[in-house]
Amino acid sequence: MLNNADNTELEHWIHYRIDDEPESSLAKVLTPVQVMSDAGIDPQTNYLEQIHPEVVSYKDKPDEKIELTEGMRFITKPTGPMPVS
């Protein structure tokens, strides 16, 4: 979005969800590690999976660039074995 007065780009927040919690970013591109870190999730013990608009696992791609779009949805999954109660 451009400001007509001086042709500078205005800030535009992109809203998305991670583990069904709302998040937002001014960055248009983030890595899975950045998405999780920004949400307070430990990327050392979790990995990111995109579930909307399409399903994409970033399990083995923690530094892949994700072009954020409005309404994206992500979930996190643990990288290690699940504890048994």
User: Domain locations in the chain?
Assistant: 14-78
**Given pLDDT bands bounded at 50, 70 and 90, which one contains residue 11?**
confident
53 vs 45: CA distance, rounded Å: 25
pTM for this structure? Answer: 0.82
Q: What confidence tens digit (pLDDT) does each residue in 30-65 have?
A: 999 999 999 999 999 999 999 999 999 999 999 999
Do 79 and 53 meet the contact criterion of CB atoms below 8 Å apart? Answer: no
- CATH class given for the domain over 14-78: alpha beta
Q: What confidence tens digit (pLDDT) does each residue in 61-77 have?
A: 999 999 999 999 999 99
Q: What confidence tens digit (pLDDT) does each residue in 12-25 have?
A: 999 999 999 999 99
Helices (H), 1-85: 32-38
